[in-house]
Chains A and B, each alone.
Chain A
Amino acid sequence: MAHGPAKGIGRWLRATNHKDIGTMYLWFSFAMFLLGGAFAMVIRAELFEPGMQIIKPEFFNQMTTMHGLIMVFGAIMPVFVGLANWMIPMMIGAPDMALPRLNNLSFWILPFGFSLLAATLFMPGGGPNFGWTFYAPLSTTYAPPTVNFFIFGIHIIGASSIMGSINIIATILNLRAPGMTLMKMPMFAWTWLITAFLLIAVMPVLAGAVTMMLMDINFGTSFFNAAGGGDPVLFQHVFWFFGHPEVYIIIIPAFGVMSAIIPTFSRKPLFGYSSMVYATAAIAFLSFIVWAHHMFTVGMPLAGELYFMYATMLIAVPTGVKVFNWITTMFRGAITYETPMLFAIAFVILFTIGGFTGLMLAIAPADIQYQDSYFVVAHFHYVMVAGALLSSTAAVYYWIPKWTGRMYNETMGKVHFWVSFVAFNVTFFPQHFLGLAGMPRRYADYSLQFADWNMVSSIGAFAYGASQLLFLYNVIATIVAGRKVSDPKVWEGAEGLEWTVPTPAPYHTFSTPPAIK
């Protein structure tokens, strides 16, 4: 029964073990993170000074588009699937994911999807250049010929997400250890359960949008072509019906990670567990009915603007509940500041700032000024980078001793944290100023009054990029030569089933279900 992993490359190609597949997801997303990060470096290098110095505007547009697509679909979404693969079975006392072969397939189609996408950069006409939101008709009638590769890439990535979600739902609903009721599950499992439902609901909508594009481009339909009786604004409605839940798909698992790490290093149980569950569900529900707040300048009727403004403002309530709960968890605890906790605290601060600017963006009349400016760029990087990315970094530091049986280098982890934290803010805080002063997003070049803050932002970006290489080094050094740990608990304040199995976690865990008190 307790056999080990297969030998050679077959272990990975034919992997059905949740830990192996989780590992592959994590490495894949890190590779995509470095690729998307390299694109960001190109963007910031070009924007270092006014004028076109390094690249041409058409290539600049490909860089912004690919940066967004790779980071959203290639780095952030897979990293949380990787964490889910590794942690959910161990957290709920399951021997593996419910559908191991589906698990293999959902991972292994990803490299093909992203190869299709990245290969377009080397084709005639270049890669997708219409922004990661690919608004029609720029992405249909006016798209480069490689757009078909982009469409099939998105289809494959979407299929992978749907399969991954089915697997997570099946695992959580069917394989919990006896006695582990839903309301006893760790928050990370809860947040992923909710996220998986969101994914199943909206990935087909995205697939529908790109299929309509495919038809318009190749088969003469006019879904989005005004000249043929179609409607370019319809594209935006369909896209954001996917796109808004998508941003919660990205952030909700991060909430789960925070709800694991903050109690551990505060040595105090999570405050308001059930309100956390309800708040997460409320956020997920609201995410379906606020999409057009991305479209306040599109010319909606007044009634539409008002509705989407009010509905969007409501999201601040459950989001606030979550932040208050984390802070109250820390309150009167016994806090220590290991690297995962530093990242978690930075998450709470920076995500809250992103939430504040989100509230500002919800105010429709003010959004007339913010829409499509660098203010929006700053806002969503505070949510995406500081939210999703910092939390997944925290997760890696938090769980890597359990995965490898080795402790990361704490000093290096702290250096990584401080450089990232400072560089992140140097990069993105000035972008608020740029946007308010009138600089639109996706600009390859800008007028002179924007020069100073752009240069600051670029310097911050280079430092942020460099600090991630330190992270890579620290992870590899840990795996190869980290200090060995064997305490199942690893962290003094850690609670939960994953901390009851040996360290490092054996290839098979919970072959017989644990007893839940």
Chain B
Amino acid sequence: MVSKAKQLVRGGIGALALLPWLHAAAAEPAARPESWNLLNMPKGVTSVSQNVYDIHMVVIWICVWIGVAVFGVMFYSMFAHRKSRGHKPANFHESTKVELAWTIIPALILIVMAFPATTSLKHLYDTSEADLDVKITGYQWKWKYDYLGKDVSFISELATSQASIYGSAPKTEFYLEEVTEPLVIPVGKKVRLLMTGADVIHSWWVPELAVKRDAIPGFVNETWARVDKPGIYRGRCAELCGKDHAFMPIVVNAVPEEEFNAWLAKKQSETVALRALTEKTFTQEELMAKGEAVYGRTCAGCHGAAGEGVPGVFPAIKGSKIALGPVADHLAIVVNGKSGTAMQAFGAQLSEVDLAAAITYQRNAWGNKSVDNIVQPVDVFKVKNGQ
């Protein structure tokens, strides 16, 4: 309590000192700055972000100086032309010259601002000649990254635990800013980012890259980033996308090119290994153990940690017709989703092994006891491929 009070006092002082807020953020080292000092847009690590930062500062300073002039006159008048000082009111109420001046001068200032803004926007829109294409798909409430033509794709979702969010576990340094697997990109290479949405509109925002682009179902938007400095850059979903809008962060790991190539080769071999696993037959215990993890990560957000659902919005799985009925229906709804509802087509998001495990878990957990209660990856593969 005392330290909170101290913080508040410091905050009050921080708020009074207006000028530092224009510079403080840029001067901070890469370590997490104290949040009182987080006052301005980051300069970022791409040419676009630095460009945007410069325009932002120019416009701020123009506004500040106009503000000083305009409010200066106003405060002078408020002080000098008070009735209590015996000031007698003048009676003028028109002056074409003055009015022309304060129409034309602002218009000229605007034209001056428009030039750098136009140049910067053109630069931002130039997505040509990319070295690497990454497709980013927004899902409720996670991101999927596809390295086009590289046979690598994965889901990236929040790694912070529910316990931490709801206060039963401590909040660590990167609370709500940590993901299961970051987007890895090479430093110094132009990466084209292709955005789309699988369900509702999301928006992929990483401030230090000055990239924010809406991920819209039915559209593929393009933007790009060339990161100059290796490091970890964190961002968030910026477009309201439902319940867990605040819980689908973005982490970008920019690494030197050799490191990136090594990472890519490793991911490619994982893809191959996963395909091989699809043919394996698992025991129920193996599937249940894996399924519990997949369920907690992917399904529990809507259907509840114990399959209880949210009445009126998300159906329960515990005791549901689908989980207790024929396995074909269960597979169909999980793999293909249910159109017109929030139930997504998870066939595009999860591997055969994960899907088999999750479905097996749903059919056996919380007292659900189905007749045919085990699903193998190969069954999922058949449904995915229409066999």
Contacts and interface: CB of A to CB of B under 8 A. Distances in A.
B231 interface: no
A413 to B, nearest CB: 18
A275 B99 contact: yes
Contact of B33 (A123, A442, A449): A449
A368 B53 CA distance: 11
Nearest to B73: A327
B340 interface: yes
A353 interface: yes
A227 B337 CA distance: 13
Contacts of A453: 11, 35-36, 38
B217 A232 contact: yes
Contact of A436 (B11, B40, B164): B40
Contact of A445 (B114, B176, B219): B176
B94 A321 contact: no
Nearest to B86: A334
A360 B113 CA distance: 10
B214 A298 contact: yes
Contacts of B347: none
A440 B238 contact: yes
Interface in A403-453: 426, 429-430, 433, 436-453
A39 to B, nearest CB: 16
B252 to A, nearest CB: 13
A57 B83 contact: no
A365 to B, nearest CB: 4
B203 A372 contact: yes
Which of B174, B195, B205 has the most A CB atoms < 10 Å from its CB? B205
B180 to A, nearest CB: 16
B312 interface: yes
B340 A141 contact: yes
Given A58-B243, A144-B313, A323-B70, A334 B83 contact: yes
Interface string B197-238: 001110101010011111011110110000000000011111
Given A302-B125, A360-B59, A365-B121, A232 B218 contact: yes
Contact of B171 (A50, A270, A309, A437): A50
Given A51-B171, A360-B59, A364-B121, A226 B218 contact: yes
B245 A369 contact: no
B240 A327 contact: no
B241 A267 contact: no
A496 interface: no
Contacts of A337: 82
A135 B201 contact: yes
A192 B121 CA distance: 38
A81 B181 CA distance: 54
Given A51-B171, A309-B114, A452-B11, A57 B312 contact: no
A443 B7 CA distance: 23
A317 B110 CA distance: 9
Contacts of B91: 268-269
B312 A448 contact: no
Interface string A294-320: 000111001001100110011011001
For the residues of B in contact with A, the DSSP-based class is mixed
B21 A433 contact: yes
A124 B167 contact: no
B151 to A, nearest CB: 27
B212 A369 contact: yes
A53 interface: yes
Contacts of B214: 297-299
B246 A57 contact: yes
B240 to A, nearest CB: 5
B113 A313 contact: yes
A499 to B, nearest CB: 17
A331 interface: yes
Interface stretch (B100-108, B259-267, B327-335, B358-366): B100-108
Interface in A331-387: 331-337, 345, 348-349, 352-353, 356, 359-360, 363-366, 368-369, 371-373
A160 interface: no
B312 A144 contact: yes
A90 to B, nearest CB: 23
A334 B90 CA distance: 8
A38 B59 CA distance: 36
Nearest to A319: B106
A328 B218 contact: no
A61 interface: yes
Given A125-B313, A135-B201, A137-B200, A231 B218 contact: yes
Given A51-B167, A336-B82, A126 B70 contact: no
B240 A297 contact: no
Contacts of B173: 448
A131 interface: yes
Contact of A232 (B71, B213, B216): B216
Contacts of B51: 365
Contacts, number: 323
Contacts of B11: 452-453, 455-456
Which of B83, B122, B207 has the most A CB atoms < 10 Å from its CB? B83
A297 B203 contact: yes
Contacts of A443: 236, 245-246
A371 B238 contact: yes
Interface string B44-73: 000010011001100110010011001101
Interface in B97-133: 98-99, 102-103, 106-107, 110, 113-114, 117-118, 120-122, 124-125
B382 interface: no
Contact of B83 (A144, A267, A372): A267
Contacts of A324: 70, 102
Interface string A46-90: 000011110001100100000000000000000000000000000
B242 interface: yes
Interface in A183-232: 226-227, 230-232
B385 interface: no
B82 A335 contact: yes
B145 interface: no
B81 interface: yes
Given A368-B212, A371-B238, A452-B36, 14 more contacts: A61-B240, A123-B312, A124-B313, A135-B200, A138-B241, A275-B99, A336-B82, A336-B83, A369-B56, A433-B39, A437-B41, A443-B245, A455-B8, A459-B8
7 contacts: A306-B121, A314-B107, A348-B74, A360-B63, A437-B35, A455-B11, A459-B8
Interface of B: 4, 7-8, 11, 15, 21, 25, 32-33, 35-36, 38-42, 48, 51-52, 55-56, 59-60, 63, 66-67, 70-71, 73-74, 77-78, 81-84, 87-95, 98-99, 102-103, 106-107, 110, 113-114, 117-118, 120-122, 124-125, 140, 164-167, 171, 173-177, 195, 199-201, 203, 205, 207, 210-214, 216-219, 221-222, 234-247, 249, 310-313, 339-342
Interface of A: 50-53, 57-58, 61, 123-126, 129-131, 135, 137-138, 141-142, 144-145, 226-227, 230-233, 266-273, 275, 297-299, 302, 305-306, 309-310, 313-314, 316-317, 320-321, 323-324, 327-337, 345, 348-349, 352-353, 356, 359-360, 363-366, 368-369, 371-373, 426, 429-430, 433, 436-453, 455-456, 459
In order of increasing CB-CB distance, the 4 nearest A-B pairs are: A226-B218, A124-B312, A299-B221, A356-B63
